[in-house]
Amino acid sequence: MNRLLAALASRLVIVVPYLWLLVFFLVPFVIVFKISLSFTALAMPPYTPVFDLQQGLSGLMAALGELTVENYLWLFQDQLYVNAYLSSLWIAAVSTVLALLVGYPLAYGMARAPESVRPVLLMLVILPFWTSFLIRVYAWIGILKPEGLLNQFLFFLGAIDEPLIILNTNTAIYIGIVYSYLPFMVLPIYATLERMDHSLVEAAQDLGCPPVTAFWKVTFPLSMPGVVAGSMLVFIPAVGEFVIPDLLGGSRTLMIGKTLWQEFFSNRDWPVASAVAVILLVILIVPIMLFQRAQARAQEKGL
């Protein structure tokens, strides 16, 4: 009896979360894919064909016959969507590089700080991540707008005569993404730098290597896993970002997350919104696989 119970328990450990993720993570993607192949209709739910299991196989075949790739053709024909994808990738890439430029020195400084203060520094990096994302983006509106705090400060210094227009431009989006995702960049890099054997750098320097060269030849290559993980953690969500371009970007800012949102909430075009999501996913599959491989490798090492 006990053994039976134990066997059952070990099954449940796997089956329960597995089923949950199947139903609420995988099946939804299948539905998105299916709807992306449907015609737009003015019904609720606004799409056809409606898939009906009760009609059996013939119903299935009939439904399949009604599927259409029209939504995808539409996406590729309309320059708006193509531009939105390209500009999302570009904005995410620029932001990732900027986040690396800000995050790496910070992670490096943390890893080189005295051991006793490292936990405090770590805490300080993590803390903003816990506070609301929306609020942190919102905080920048008051700083960046034409009569905002940054311009007031620059006027006070006498550095400018005209207010800088930053809000509602791509610069504001870069700032927003770097700011919001910085902890994701800093933490993996810090983890690799902190574990690094510093005697390697000392050895290089003993052999006559100048500190800067030692950094590029020893430290940086060794921190590469952290850099890759951090960059993926910034790049992937940034491509599909909605809140930042919506609040900080201008009306002319094209980002695919925003386009999908508008397609869904304003135009109520579910099939096109689904097709947008499917293509976004296809674009992100390569970086997601890279990230997963890095995760799996880190796990094997027991890190």
Partner 1 sequence: MAGHWGRFNVVSLVFGFAFLYLPIVLLVIYSFNESQLVTVWAGFSTRWYVALFSNQGLLDAAWVTVRVAFLSATTATVLGTLAALALTRYTRFRGRVLFSGMVFAPLVMPEVITGLSLLLLFVAMNLDRGFMTVTIAHITFSMCFVAVVVQSRLITFDRSLEEAALDLGATPVRAFFQVTLPVIMPAVLAGWMLAFTLSLDDLVIASFTSGPGATTLPMKIYSQVRLGVTPEINAVSTILIAVVSVGVIVASLVTKRAEVQRRRDEQMAARG
Using CB under 8 A, which residues numbered 189 to 208 contact partner 1? 193-194, 196, 198
**Shortest Cβ distance from residue 161 to partner 1 (Å)?**
19
> CB–CB of 170/88 below 8 Å?
no
**Contact string 113-142 vs partner 1 (x = CB under 8 A):** xxxx-x--x-xxxxxx-xxxxxxx-xxxxx
Reference 49, options 25, 26, 65; nearest CA is: 65
**Contact string 235-254 vs partner 1 (x = CB under 8 A):** -xx-xxxxx---x-------
**The binder of partner 1 chosen from 91, 182, 204, 218 (CB under 8 A):** 182
Asked if residue 18 binds partner 1 (CB under 8 A), the reply is yes
Q: Which stretch binds partner 1 (CB under 8 A): 62-70, 79-87, 157-165, 233-241?
A: 233-241
Residue in the block written with tokens 């995988």: 26
Distance CA 142, CA 283 (A): 34
DSSP letter assigned to residue 48: E
**Shortest Cβ distance from residue 252 to partner 1 (Å)?**
17
Asked if residue 267 binds partner 1 (CB under 8 A), the reply is no
> CB–CB of 232/291 below 8 Å?
yes
Asked if residue 295 binds partner 1 (CB under 8 A), the reply is yes
Maximum C-alpha span of the chain: 83
**The binder of partner 1 chosen from 78, 250, 292, 297 (CB under 8 A):** 292
Distance CA 251, CA 249 (A): 7
Q: Is 163 exposed, middle or buried (0-12, 13-18, 19+ CB in 10 A)?
A: middle
Asked if residue 74 binds partner 1 (CB under 8 A), the reply is no
Nearest residue (CB) to partner 1, 138 versus 216: 138
Structure tokens at 119: 């936990």
Asked if residue 64 binds partner 1 (CB under 8 A), the reply is no
> What three-state secondary structure class fits 39?
strand
Nearest residue (CB) to partner 1, 26 versus 69: 26
